Structure 1
Amino acid sequence: MSRRFGEREALKPLDLHVAPGERVALVGANGSGKSTLLRLACGRDRPTTGSVHFDGLPMTEDDPRVRSRVAVVAEALSCYPDLTVRQHLELVAVAHAVPDPGAVVERCLDEQRLAAHADALPGSLSSGQAQAMLLAAAWVRPRDLLVLDEPEQRLDPAARDRLAARLRAEGDRGTAVLFATHHPALAHAVADRVLVLEDGRVVADGAGDRVPA
């Protein structure tokens, strides 16, 4: 697959397969093609050439069979200004028919250190807490593929450690994980495989333990 915007080739032709339980990190400078690749991988954009499939299905957000199994952490969560943090997470859980949604939401609030802010409005959260809420919205729903664009942004070191532990656990439970990061230490701690992108091209593809921390 490849992606072109006018005359600019944002992503040069590549083949990528992420297996169930595999954790793949994308690293590279701003503008290297990481976010473009992630948007193609989760169906939020379509390639100029080639195709993207998930479990044999064309990857598109329009297909509920795909949408129900793919969780994306990419930009700020769309929020209702008069709903609390807890209520937003409950909406996500109910929309995805999560069994015992209340208990799942409470676990995610605790994990993300948001329990004390569960009844706050999203607009009152700090930037780090808002990022934690975005992550919680992904953890609260079912997922077989997890796509994250710089999920560590705005997180403090302790929260980044919790994120690394969660991403490792996601792979261990069979979730395919594809994430972009500017923190080599996160890629080193999590990824089985690391792709290095430069000017829209994969210039290195190897085991995660070869990434400098």
Structure 2
Amino acid sequence: MTKQELAVDVRGLVKRFGNKIAVNGVDIQLPKGQVWGFLGPNGSGKTTTIRMICGLLSTDEGSGHCLGFDIIKQAPQIRRLTGYMTQKFSFWNDLTIRENLDFVARLYALPKRRTVVDNTLEKLQLQHRQNQLAGQLSGGWKQRLALAAVTMHNPKLLLLDEPTAGVDPQARRDFWDEIHHLSASGLTVLVSTHYMDEAERCDKIVYLAHGQLITQGTVQDIISNAKLFTYKAIGEGVRLAAETLRAQPAVAHAAYFGSALHVSGYDQSALLSAIQSHTPNIHWQAVEPSLEDVFIALMDNAGQDKRSYQ
């Protein structure tokens, strides 16, 4: 794939804070117009990587381009073409929705500012709430305001840092419908999330742990490459069996999914033998590992974070 087809092409990104290595040698090649998900435990380096890509944070090592501009030498050009939605609501609670958008339009020096604000309000279905104070909005409406503010200047790249944390399922679904609508119009999106259902909506996933890139690919690629075997049981007694099974060497992890218990391992025959011998009265069914099964296994394999925090 040529550089002209890539929105993000960065290699060997390293960022240190004192003696702590927050990001250690991350490579990302993100094609234009795709939606990629960033997964990983808290403190894995997702936000730091996002900020280096869009020029908000300088790199200690590494190089690359974002939207055709050098991430080290041309950071201001990248920032002007990027929309960055932070995890925490970062707009003004004592201003109305319209006043917030008008202020952002002034920051970007957008021409025909009133028309741009009107169009943005209509596009994100905010026009009937435009005179409401931002501080009075629910989490879902604050999220919609934030998305409106970071896309009103028509960016080429949208970076979203856990954008749906703390909002209800319907608001999350509506938000993702809008993300895919924007992507269909050519916008490239990189989103960090802890929700597995959101990760499954992405074209590809990048998994980070302890500042390092562990795996990347489509959901199906990541599940297949994990080489994990999973069995599921439902019914009385499965919860009581969980701790016993977790103690078995063949069991990589056991986790609840509603009323079901998933038990996974890397040696299928040893795993089956373990669950049959320790839970003879429970019926087990072989199932394809879910993304969450793989996510938990990757976290376990990554082990304890040994980066220095001095």
TM-score by length of 2: 0.61
**Cα drift, residue 179 of structure 1:** 0.8
Aligned residue in 2 for 1:196? 207
Tell me whether 1:183 sits opposite 2:195 in the alignment. Answer: yes
Distance in 1 of aligned mates of 2:186 and 2:73: 22
Q: Percent identity?
A: 28
The answer to whether the 8 Å contact 1:40/1:52 transfers is no
* SS of equivalent to 2:215: strand
Q: 1:6-64 CA distances to partner (integer Å, 9 max, x unpaired)?
A: 21111110211212102111111111111111111121111110124223323379855
Alignment of structure 1 residues 1-213 onto 2, 5 Å? 1-59=13-71, 64-74=76-86, 75-79=88-92, 81=94, 83-94=95-106, 95-97=108-110, 100-110=115-125, 114-189=126-201, 191-209=202-220, 212=291
User: What is the Cα-based RMSD across aligned positions, in Å?
Assistant: 2.4
Distance in structure 2 (CA, Å) of the matches to 1:86 and 1:208: 39
Contact 1:73–1:147 (CA<8 Å) still a contact in 2?
Answer: yes
Q: Distance in 2 between matches of 1:64 and 1:196?
A: 28
Report the TM-score, using the length of structure 1 for normalisation. Answer: 0.86
In structure 2, give the amino acid aligned to 1:106: L
User: Which secondary structure does the structure 2 equivalent of 1:15 belong to?
Assistant: strand
Higher relative contact order (CA 8 A, sep 6+): 1
Q: For 2:93 and 2:100, how far apart are their aligned partners in 1? A: 8
Measure how far apart 1:170 and its partner are: 2.3
In the alignment, is the contact (CA less than 8 A) between 1:42 and 1:60 conserved in 2?
A: no
**CA deviation vs aligned residue, 1:131-150 (integer Å, no higher than 9, x gap):** 33212212322110000100
Structure with greater strand percent: 2
3-state SS, counterpart of residue 12 of structure 1: strand
The alpha carbon displacement at 1:176 in A equals 1.4
- How many pairs does the alignment contain? 208
**For the pair shown, which has the larger CA radius of gyration, 1 or 2?**
2
State the secondary structure of the residue aligned to 1:165: helix
Unaligned segments of structure 2, at least 5 residues: 1-12, 224-290, 293-310
